[in-house]
Amino acid sequence: MEVHHHTHAHAKKNWEAHLWEFLMLFLAVTAGFLVENLREHYVELKREEIFIKSFVEDLRQDTANISSNIQLRTSKILIMDSLIKLLNSPNPNTNGQSAYYWGRRVTRSTLFQSNDRTIKQLKNSGGLRLIRNQKASNTIMEYDQAIDYVNYLQTTRETLEVTALYPLLAKLFDGQVLETMINGMEINRPSGNPPLRTTNKDVILDITYFLHQYKTSSIVIITRLQTVRDVAIKTMQFFQKEYNLSERNHLEK
């Protein structure tokens, strides 16, 4: 009887010990899992904040570049207006110096390039999933689409019009005169009053047509850039408020 009683107590003790060990192991695994989840969540929050700060900095640079590009395009439109008026005057050779100067400047690039480093990182690394705020994520994509449309206008419509101008301007201007006008990146007026290669009315009307198309495309792009700049400013304000960036940046300083 004593032996039987001793065996039963030993079995009961082993069962309780195993149960306790299982509970301790379960709690340890669960705690480790929760800690790891919290750590990953914290890391993702920090990565999200880094992406947002980087995007806001991109927007800040874009707004400055957009303002500069709008000024450049506005100046280019005035040049095109002046060139159209001069070429269609009774005798364009009266002011050949200005015709050469404006004609050479009109083909200078006015391409706006957005700072898309952060958006590229978000797309290529799947980082958009880190932007938990759906409105923030939508805002980023909407801005990207607005930039894509500006790029479309620049690289298709505007580029085609400038490309069409080149052979016509080659009929109008003496390349040897143009060579004397370039000093590094600068375009200077030619000396004297060099004559145009032709004052043929059909050639001038063709040039006038493509200058008109180029000018109106520039006006459209300026309007789109103004909209993009407004969106960028509102987006920066939204992110600064939503992510409390101003206060955090102040504290970090």
Best CA proximity match to 68, nearest among 237, 201, 222 = 222
User: With bands split at pLDDT 50, 70 and 90, how would you rate the model's confidence at 243?
Assistant: confident
Angle ∠(182,188,191) on CA atoms, nearest 5: 105
CB 143 within 8 A of CB 230: no
**Buried residues in 92-126 as b, exposed as e (16+ CB within 10 A):** beeebbbbbbbbbebeeebebebbbebbebbeeee
* pLDDT tens column, 77-88: 999 999 999 999
Give the DSSP per-residue string, 191-241: SS-PPPS---HHHHHHHHHHHHHHHHHHHHHHHHHHHHHHHHHHHHHHHHH
How large is the angle between the packed helices 2-87 and 134-152, nearest 10 degrees?
30
Is the pLDDT reported for residue 36 higher than 60? Answer: no
The reported pTM is 0.79
At 236, give phi and psi (nearest 5°). Answer: -60, -45
Structure tokens, 110? 């006015």
Rounded average pLDDT over 54-63: 94
What is the Cα–Cα distance from 192 to 35, expressed in whole angstroms? 80
- Domains held by the chain: number: 1
Residue 250 has pLDDT above 50, yes or no: no
**Tokens 């050639």, located at residue:** 203
For residue 190, give its domain range. 2-252
Q: Alpha-carbon distance 172 to 197, whole Å?
A: 5
Q: What is the mean pLDDT of the chain?
A: 84
Strands (E), 2-65: none
Cα distances (angstroms) measured from residue 238 to each of 72, 123, 231, 241: 29, 21, 10, 5
